[in-house]
Amino acid sequence: MDRNVLTEICLHQLTLSGVHEGEKVIVLSQGSERLDYADAFLAAGQRLGARMYHVRLPAPLPGNGAWAVGETGLAANPEAVEALKKADMVVDLIFLLFSKEQMAIQAAGARVLTAVEPAPLLARLPPTKELRERVEISAEILSNAKIMRITSKPGTDIVYKLGVYPTVAEYGYTDQPGRWDHWPAAFVFTGGADDGVDGKIVLAPGDVLLPFNTYVREPVTYTIEKGFVQDIRGGLEAELIKSYMGEFKDPRGMGMSHVGWGLDHRAQWHGLTQFPGGMGMELRSFYGNVMFSTGPNNELGGPNDTACHLDIPMRACSLFLDDVPIVVDGNIAVREMQQHS
Ligand SMILES: [Fe+2]
């Protein structure tokens, strides 16, 4: 992407994120990845009068094995963590999510923005105040609910008992101390009680499997009891899911993780076909998707920290909070959450 265009969209991002004169903003990168993003953020922050720094970690040593969520190059570099804790804002170009180091940086008061998706996607889905408002209204309603029920024509009918875990809102920028967000994003989620999720989820063709970055082609039926998946049945995708989960050799991978819905009218369900190298933020965000996940809930303060994590945005579902329809057949049903052009 053209350097000036990238700088302009980073300027928009940092402006919404409240970056101002005299603030200290650190851009964190690794190896040779996203150095163009780093340059664009540095230039943008400078224009806002912020004190800009770039912390660049070395590329991981060859032979370190597969990339795993929560393990970062910062773990071996406590001095860098200390420096980042002193920032007002950290722009994370590595993907620190679920790491102890990110938690420490936020606890010290630095807000953290992750930007790792392909630049054309960042350009197409810039954060907006209007979207933030709809996401925050959604989060407010979700945080007050006691029971979530999700249904679908292919046969999903599942109930989550709520009220144990907090609600998280992601809207793609962050202007509050210690708060993390991910660009692009527009969704809300919470988690069910550890033993309080029961029913069936039936994935339909076109539902999305992350991190496989593929679409379901044959129905997959999950049977869930007391917060754990008991059974997964179907065709090829069911076999792939079971095979992938089996690899972790961790029964906690069968736990039910976060659940919620997407609100970005600009995000496209077919996004995977346009950005095959991305990590699926567009798919988590598209308007009216209902996303459930399996695996860890430590992000919400729960005890399950398994590394086996799948996010599954589904189309055409209905979602009810305490019997009030929130999403109906894949459309947002609450006026204040709807996009008004
Ligand atoms: Fe997730």
Q: What is the tens place of the pLDDT at every residue in 135-192?
A: 999 999 999 999 999 999 999 999 999 999 999 999 999 999 999 999 999 999 999 9
Query: Do residues 75 and 11 touch, judged by C-beta distance below 8 A?
Result: no
- Residue 274 in this model has a pLDDT that exceeds 90: no
| Choice between 71 and 312, residue whose per-residue pLDDT is larger | 312
Query: Do residues 173 and 127 touch, judged by C-beta distance below 8 A?
Result: yes
Q: Identify the DSSP state of 59.
A: P
The alpha helices in 215-338, defined as continuous H runs, are 236-247, 271-274, 281-285
Which protein residues have their CB within 5 A of the ion that is ligand 1? 293, 311
pLDDT at residue 98 in the model: 77
Query: Do residues 150 and 201 touch, judged by C-beta distance below 8 A?
Result: yes
Tell me, in angstroms, the distance from the centre of ligand 1 to residue 309's CA.
7
- Residue 197 in this model has a pLDDT that exceeds 60: yes
- Binning pLDDT at 50, 70 and 90, where does residue 76 land? confident
Q: Pick the closest to residue 208 from 155, 269, 152, 151 (CA basis).
A: 269
Q: Identify the DSSP state of 74.
A: G
Q: What is the mean pLDDT of residues 259-281?
A: 92
- Binning pLDDT at 50, 70 and 90, where does residue 63 land? low
Cα–Cα dist 115/16, whole Å: 14
- Residue 66 in this model has a pLDDT that exceeds 50: no
| Choice between 100 and 218, residue whose per-residue pLDDT is larger | 218
Tell me, in angstroms, the distance from the centre of ligand 1 to residue 200's CA.
19
- Summarize pLDDT for 94-112 with one digit per residue, the tens: 999 878 899 999 999 999 9
Q: What is the mean pLDDT of residues 279-303?
A: 95
pLDDT at residue 30 in the model: 95
- Residue 62 in this model has a pLDDT that exceeds 90: no
- Residue 48 in this model has a pLDDT that exceeds 80: yes
Tell me, in angstroms, the distance from the centre of ligand 1 to residue 154's CA.
23
pLDDT at residue 299 in the model: 87
Q: Pick the closest to residue 285 from 171, 209, 198 (CA basis).
A: 171
- Residue 228 in this model has a pLDDT that exceeds 90: yes
pLDDT at residue 68 in the model: 57
Tell me, in angstroms, the distance from the centre of ligand 1 to residue 5's CA.
30
pLDDT at residue 184 in the model: 98
- Residue 19 in this model has a pLDDT that exceeds 60: yes
Tell me, in angstroms, the distance from the centre of ligand 1 to residue 181's CA.
13
- Residue 67 in this model has a pLDDT that exceeds 70: no
- Segment (H or E) for 28: strand 24-30
pLDDT at residue 278 in the model: 86
Tell me, in angstroms, the distance from the centre of ligand 1 to residue 101's CA.
19
pLDDT at residue 183 in the model: 98
Q: What is the mean pLDDT of residues 257-279?
A: 92
Tell me, in angstroms, the distance from the centre of ligand 1 to residue 310's CA.
6
Tell me, in angstroms, the distance from the centre of ligand 1 to residue 301's CA.
14
pLDDT at residue 69 in the model: 62
Mean pLDDT over all residues of the chain? 95
Predicted TM-score (pTM) of this structure = 0.94
